[in-house]
Amino acid sequence: MDRFIIRGGRRLEGEITIGGAKNAGLKLMVAGLLTGERLILSNVPQIADIATMRDLLRQHGVAVENVDAEGRTLSIGGPIESVEAPYDIVSKMRASILVLGPLLARMHEARVSLPGGCAIGTRPVDMHLKGLETLGAQIRLENGYINASAPGGLVGDRVVLPFASVGATENLLMAATLAKGRTEIVNAAREPEIGDLVECLNRMGARISGSGTGTLVIDGVEALHGAEHAIMADRIECGTYACAAGITGGDLRLIGGRIGDLGAVIRTLEEAGVEVIAEENAIRVRRDGPLQGVDIMTEPYPGFPTDMQAQFMAMLSVAEGASMITETIFENRYMHVPELNRMGARINVHGSSAIIRGVPSLSGAPVMATDLRASFSLILAGLAAQGETVLSRIYHLDRGYEAVDRKLAAVGASIERVRE
């Protein structure tokens, strides 16, 4: 099992290229199930979750091939030979549940294991299943699997989501592209990654309107065709490296970052004393003065993203004054708090809120990653800490961040990956 050794106290300065978005790339790969023709995806991130999705699509019989030597461009398509998504693959990654809608739409049946992923909350799939039932699917839960069928095909209808769930919106959106008639998804999630998926599906021949709003309207078509699409830049990776500039008093140009995708993250950085400047095809993030405490509440987009909560907590642990973070999306997303406190942070959790009282400095310590985003919060703490931090269980990090040690080392960090 690999680990990172980080020696803190260095100001970060330079350029970091932001990769393709994990949360867009995975769904776009799944969209390849909707057509027998080739879907060509470029700007593909080199992360473990993409490799897992490649394995899952191949399990279905779909060809997934590298177009270039680096694997930055993928060709996806072909006949579906199996409608089963087995436990040994699905348990590695929660996004695997998204094959359910496309398999039902194209093959009229699916057998998908109940999903796994980071242990940050229950994240039930009820909304996915109820929405698909509204579109005419028959669903049974049996032996840890979702058994779904739509013998006559899916039929468009009005689906009202009780919560703006990203996963449910994406699953229903893809399923509806091949359903008979019109589907309305009300209270749909509005994340930029959904807009990226809509853009790709429309290039494949889908008829979807309402992107970026709370209501998506899909007029079903008989078949989708191949297309080419570049995956959007990863706004969470961009926000994470912005926090790295903030916590180290650094100055970073984040190449490919888009301010329009970050919304509340930008506003919160500026409130905390971090300067954010839009440049051509880049965002410049720097801090000269002290960090200031701020209050944050995670919310569905365009609110503050839950995927940035841990990184901001690390940064605010060395801010002047007190901060409060309230987590409204996942009920178990403070597992990084004890590890940050081991490094000298002063964080107390009360129910869904965490009170952070800023300290002058952190101290290096051996710490353990608990989930994907928490992994990077501990790297951020290590970058700012005095002494050496040893971060174990970094396989969580590899699921969603590419070449972290190389990117950080290139801008002045002392970070080394050690194989045990």
Q: Which residues are within 8 A (CB) of 304 and not within 5 positions of it... i.e. 6 or more apart?
A: 264, 265, 268, 296, 297, 298
195 Cβ partners below 8 Å, 6+ apart?
A: 211, 212
Tally of residues, the chain: 420
d(CA 324, CA 313): 9
Residue 22 annotated as binding site: yes
Strand partners, 82: none
Burial of 280 (0-12, 13-18, 19+ CB in 10 A): exposed
Q: Consult the annotation and say whether 11 binds a ligand.
A: no
List the Cα angle 47/53/57 in 5-degree steps. Answer: 150
Q: Does 94 count as an annotated binding residue?
A: yes
Q: According to the annotation, is 147 in a ligand binding site? A: no
d(CA 220, CA 175) in angstroms, rounded, equals 9
Q: What are phi and psi of 401, to 5 degrees?
A: -125, 135
**Contact of 276 with 238, CB cutoff 8 Å:** no
Query: Does residue 118 have an active-site annotation?
Result: yes
Residue 157 marked ligand-binding: no
**Residues annotated as catalytic (active site), given as ranges:** 118
Residue positions forming the annotated binding site for phosphoenolpyruvate: 22-23
Residue positions forming the annotated binding site for UDP-N-acetyl-alpha-D-glucosamine: 94, 307, 329
Residue positions forming the annotated binding site: 22-23, 94, 307, 329
